[in-house]
């Protein structure tokens, strides 16, 4: 049976979003081939299943009358994107994605660290700064979906990498 993501504690404040007031983190032990944080982010977040894309479409339809940014909003087209998310910073051990909006700011932090000679520990931390009441309501409504999506996307890293071609 492949390893399954599990929740781990998050310490706030976090340098990726110092004013965050909501956070969660899921972690997975990934055996085998070494990977970088940006590669892990691309594998986990780069190609969402149809049911996640449908949820994101529905989310965009619901929030657009409130003037909120749509997922995948990239105003100038010059920012590197992974899935729906702009890349803010990256190193071999950490990738930070996310953006700021009127109701909240959020970051997705993907960390990769060695776990012995034959595995890496990959974690996905979501940080949110809820700015207004709408941000608090939004997080309360989407949290169950968020948890399911993060666990599903992180579990993709436990699958073997297949060569294309």
The total domain count for the chain is 1
Residue 164 lies in a domain: no
pLDDT digits (tens, 9 = 90+) for 16-48: 999 999 999 999 998 877 889 999 999 888 887
CATH number at residue 53: 3.30.530
Q: Is residue 36 part of a domain?
A: yes
| Nearest C-alpha neighbor of 156 from the set 45, 53, 51, 25 | 45
Does residue 109 lie within any of the structural domains?
yes
What tens digit of pLDDT does each residue of 55-107 get? 777 777 776 766 666 555 555 667 788 887 899 999 999 999 998 988 899 99
The whole-number pLDDT of residue 164 equals: 45
**Which of the two residues, 25 and 119, has the higher pLDDT score?**
25
- Residue range of the domain that includes 125: 6-158
**pTM, to two decimals:** 0.85
Domain-embedded: residue 62: yes
Q: Name which residue leads in pLDDT, 55 or 108.
A: 108
pLDDT tens for each residue of 130-150:
999 988 998 999 899 999 989
Whether 1 is in a domain gets the answer no
pLDDT of amino acid 165: 43
Residue with the larger pLDDT of the pair 54 and 133: 133
Q: How confident is the model at residue 112 (pLDDT cuts 50, 70, 90)?
A: very high
């Amino acid at each position: 049976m492949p390893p399954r993501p599990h929740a781990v504690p998050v310490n706030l404040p976090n340098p990726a979003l110092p004013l965050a007031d909501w956070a969660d983190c899921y972690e997975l032990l990934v055996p085998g081939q070494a990977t970088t944080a940006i590669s892990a982010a691309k594998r986990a977040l780069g190609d969402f299943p149809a049911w996640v894309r449908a949820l994101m479409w529905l989310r965009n339809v619901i929030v657009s009358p409130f003037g909120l940014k749509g997922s995948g909003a990239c105003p100038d087209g010059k920012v590197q994107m992974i899935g729906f998310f702009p890349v803010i910073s990256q190193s071999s051990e950490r990738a930070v994605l996310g953006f700021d909006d009127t109701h909240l700011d959020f970051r997705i932090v993907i960390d990769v660290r060695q776990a012995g000679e034959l595995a890496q520990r990959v974690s996905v931390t979501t940080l949110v700064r809820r700015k207004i009441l709408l941000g608090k309501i939004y997080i309360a409504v989407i949290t169950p979906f968020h948890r399911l999506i993060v666990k599903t996307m992180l579990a993709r890293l436990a699958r073997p990498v297949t060569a294309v071609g």
